Each structure stands twice: as structure tokens, then as C-alpha cells.
Structure 1
Amino acid sequence: MLIGHIKEIVRHPVKSFRGESVKKSKIMEYGLYGDRSHTYLDESKDGDFLTITQFQEMVRYHAKFVGEESIDKYPKVEVVTPEGKVYDWEDQELIKELQNKSNRQISSREYPPSHVPIGPIAVEHILLATDASLDHLKELWGKDEVDIRRFRPNLFISLKDKVPFSEEEWIGRRIKIGSEVEIQLVAYCKRCMIVTVDPDNAERDSSLLKTVVKERKSNFGVYATVIKTGEIQVDDEVHLID
């Protein structure tokens, strides 16, 4: 059954940095190619991942791959700072800047293209959200706009029938994207303070999280696990498999 099409594909080469919107992506066993494959570790917390939760200005750093993608080796990871400076993700000047701003000692870690451990990708392989749910949440919140980047989905789906939160009813079922890829929806996404952080200026507004907690029991979006790998692209049809 046709339920919609892919409106946007977003991967995050560096965990907790702003992601890059891409026209197409390989879907690996772990999710989108290179998604959260590069991380910074907080050495003051036994090497836990440094995230927006501890250092909210991470949302203002934009990471992207530059160059040819390969299963054997990632392209260069380029980072644009809030001030517009461009660095390689392991440039010591960038790391010093992050350390000074976050007041933490950090180190870097890279996971290979063929297999990214589940830790950097949080709960499951892929996070998806729908346009109908986002539009309804905007009404519930009562603000002019809800930026989808606050929720950091990998797949943003435009629904054929604009029924808000219908994706939650798909949990336990599979969807097919394009001609190759199949994923199975497995769990709600429980939201935390990250959604309160404005992706443009890193300022916080707790009212959005309060709305999601009150109206949606903290849920927005659903997690999926990869069943069949392949390649997807923007505008691919999305079918719910009976």
C-alpha cells in the first residue's frame, strides 16, 4: 500500500552536529551510510559521547562528507563552524575550540563504513518522522513553525493521507522504500531536551518538550531496523507491506 514518498534524507557524519540533507544514500545494515560514524568523546565522563545534551552549541556545527563515498573508506569530513570557518573534523584548532566552548577534554573516534556500532546511532538503525505529524505538533505547540531539525530524523516522509502520527500504528510492520530497501518499524522515539534547542542559535525553549510530553507521552517519530539494504533517494515511493 502506497503511503507516501521520501521528502528528505538526512545523515549526521558527526554525532550531534548538524546533519547534511542528501539526494540519495546507501542503506547499510546499520542505517544510512556514514550516519554518526564520527564522534567526539567526553574524556571527563569516561569517554562517553559528547552530545547536545552536554554542549548544546553542537547543533550549530555543520558536518558533511566531501568526496567520493566508498565502502572501504569515508570521504573527508568537513565541518563548518557557527562563525563560518571550515575545518577537517580532526583539525586540532577545531578540537581546541570545542574544548574551550564545552569546558571539556575531548577526543575523536571514527567507526568504519562497513559497520557502525549501535552506540553512536542511539537506539535503532533509522529514525523517521512524517510531515503530517510535524504539522499537527505545530498546532499543538502554538508557535509559527517547528523546525524538523530539532528531531534529527534520517527520513522525513510526506504522507499521501495526512493523518498525524499514523507512523506509530506501523510499529511491528515493514515498509519498502524505492525498489530495494525494506525497514521494519520497531519502537517509539522518546524525546529529551535536545528538541528544546534551536538548531540555528542553540537557544533553548522548554515549552516544545513540555508539549510533546503532555500531548504525545514524550513520543515523536519512530525507530526502524534495516531488513534489506540498498539505495534510496528523495521522492522514492514508500509502501507499507502487508
Structure 2
Amino acid sequence: MLIGHIKEIVRHPVKSFRGESVQKNKIMEYGLYGDRSHTYLDDTKKGDFLTITQFQEMVRYKARFEGEESLDKFPKVEVITPEGKVLDWEDQELIEEMESKSKRKISTRKYTPSHVPIGPIAVEHILLATDASLDKLKELWGKEEVNMRRFRPNLFLSLKEKRPFIEEEWIGRRIKIGSEVELEFVGHCERCMIITVDPSNAERDSSLHKTLIKERNNNFGVYASVIKTGDIQVDDEVHLLD
């Protein structure tokens, strides 16, 4: 059954940085190629991942791959700082800037195209959200706009039938994207404080989180596991399988 199409594909080369919207991407066994493949570690906390939870301004740094994509090696990762500088993700200038702002000692870790563990991604392979649910949440929140980037989904679906939160009814079922990829919905995405941080200015507004807790039991979006790998692209049809 046709349920919609892929409206946007977003991968995050660096965990907790703003991701990049891409026209096409390979689905690996661990999720989107390169998603959360590069991470910063908070050495003041024995090497835990540094995230927006500890350093809110991470949302204002944008990471992107630059160069040819390969299954042997990730392309170079460039970071655009809030001030517009373009630096390599391991550039000492960037590290020192982040250490100064966050008041933490920072180191780096990266993975390979064939193996990105679940840990950096948090729970599951892929996070999906839908346009109808985002529109409904905007209505519930009562603000002018809800930026989709607050929720950091990998796949943003445009539904054929605009039923808010219908994706939660699909948990336990599978979808097919394009001609190759199959995913299985496995659970709700329970939200944390990260959604309170405005991606444009890193300012916090706890009312969004309170609305989600009250109206949706603190859930928004659904996690999916990869069943069949392959290539996907924007506008691919999405079918719910029997």
C-alpha cells in the first residue's frame, strides 16, 4: 500500500552537529551511510559522547561530507561554524573553539563505512518523522513554526493520507522505499531536552517538550531497523508491506 514519499533525507556526519540534507543516500546495515560516523568525546566525563545536552551550541555547527563517497573510506568531513568558517572536523582551531565555549576537554572518534555502531546513533538504525505529525505538533504547541531539525530525523516522509501520528500504528510492520530498501518500524522515539534547543540560535524553550509530554506521552517519530540495504533518493515512493 502506497503511504507517501520521501520528502527529505538527512544524515549527520558528526553526532549532534546539524546534518546535511542529501538527494540520495545509501542505506547500510547500520542506517544511512555516514550517519553519526564521526563523534566528539567529552574527556571531562571519561570519554562520553559530547552532545547538545552538554553543549547546546553544537546545533549551530553544520557538518557535511566533501568528496567522493566510498565503501572503503568516508570522504573528508567539513564543518561550518556559527560564524561561517569552514574547517576540517579535526582542525585544532575548531577543537579549541569548542573547548573554550563548552569548558570541556574534547577528543575525536570516527568509524568506518562498513561499521558504525548503534551507540552513536542512540537507539536504532534510522529515525523517521512525517509531515502530518509535524504539522499537528505545531498546532498543539501554538507557536508559528516547529523546525523539523529539532527532532533530527533521518527520513522525513510526506504522507499520502495526512493522518498525524499514524506512523506509531505501524510499529511492528515493514515499509519498502523505492525498489530495494526495506525497513521495519520497531518503536517510539522518546524525546529528551534536545528538542527544546532552537537549531537557529541554540536558545532553549522548554514549552515544546512540555507540550509533547502532555499531548503525546513524550513521543515523536519512530525508530526503524534496516531489513534490506540499498539506495534511496528524495521522492522515492514508500509502501507499507503486508
Within a 5 Å distance, the mapping from 1:44-59 to structure 2 comes to: 44-59=44-59
Cα distance between partner residues in 1 of 2:224 and 2:43: 31
Q: Which residue of 2 aligns with 1:183?
A: 183
Q: Which residue of 1 aligns with 2:93?
A: 93
Cα distance between partner residues in 1 of 2:176 and 2:95: 40
Question: Could you give the per-residue CA deviations for residues 100-136 of structure 1, whole angstroms, max 9, x where no partner exists?
Answer: 0000001000011101011001100000000000000
Matched, 1:164 2:164: yes
Offset of 1:75 from its aligned partner? 0.5
State how many pairs are aligned. Answer: 242
Q: Which residue of 2 aligns with 1:198?
A: 198
Offset of 1:76 from its aligned partner? 0.5
| 1:222 alignment partner AA | V
- Tell me, what secondary structure is at the counterpart of 1:140? helix
Cα distance between partner residues in 2 of 1:45 and 1:214: 33
- Structure 1 residue ranges (4+ consecutive) displaced by more than 3 angstroms after TM superposition: none
Q: Which residue of 2 aligns with 1:174?
A: 174
What runs of 5+ residues in structure 1 fail to find an aligned partner? Answer: none
TM-score, normalised with respect to structure 1? 1.00
Offset of 1:145 from its aligned partner? 0.7
- Tell me, what secondary structure is at the counterpart of 1:123? coil
| 1:20 alignment partner AA | E
Question: Could you give the per-residue CA deviations for residues 124-161 of structure 1, whole angstroms, max 9, x where no partner exists?
Answer: 00000000000000000000110000000000000000
Cα distance between partner residues in 2 of 1:142 and 1:23: 32
Offset of 1:169 from its aligned partner? 0.3
Q: CA RMSD in A?
A: 0.3
Offset of 1:62 from its aligned partner? 0.3
Q: Which residue of 2 aligns with 1:237?
A: 237
Q: Which residue of 1 aligns with 2:69?
A: 69
What runs of 5+ residues in structure 2 fail to find an aligned partner? Answer: none
- Tell me, what secondary structure is at the counterpart of 2:143? coil
TM-score, normalised with respect to structure 2? 1.00
Q: Which residue of 2 aligns with 1:207?
A: 207
Offset of 1:67 from its aligned partner? 0.5
Cα distance between partner residues in 2 of 1:39 and 1:170: 31
Cα distance between partner residues in 2 of 1:183 and 1:206: 32
Q: Percent identity?
A: 81
| 1:21 alignment partner AA | S
Cα distance between partner residues in 1 of 2:113 and 2:69: 9
Offset of 1:81 from its aligned partner? 0.2
Q: Which residue of 2 aligns with 1:8?
A: 8
Offset of 1:11 from its aligned partner? 0.2
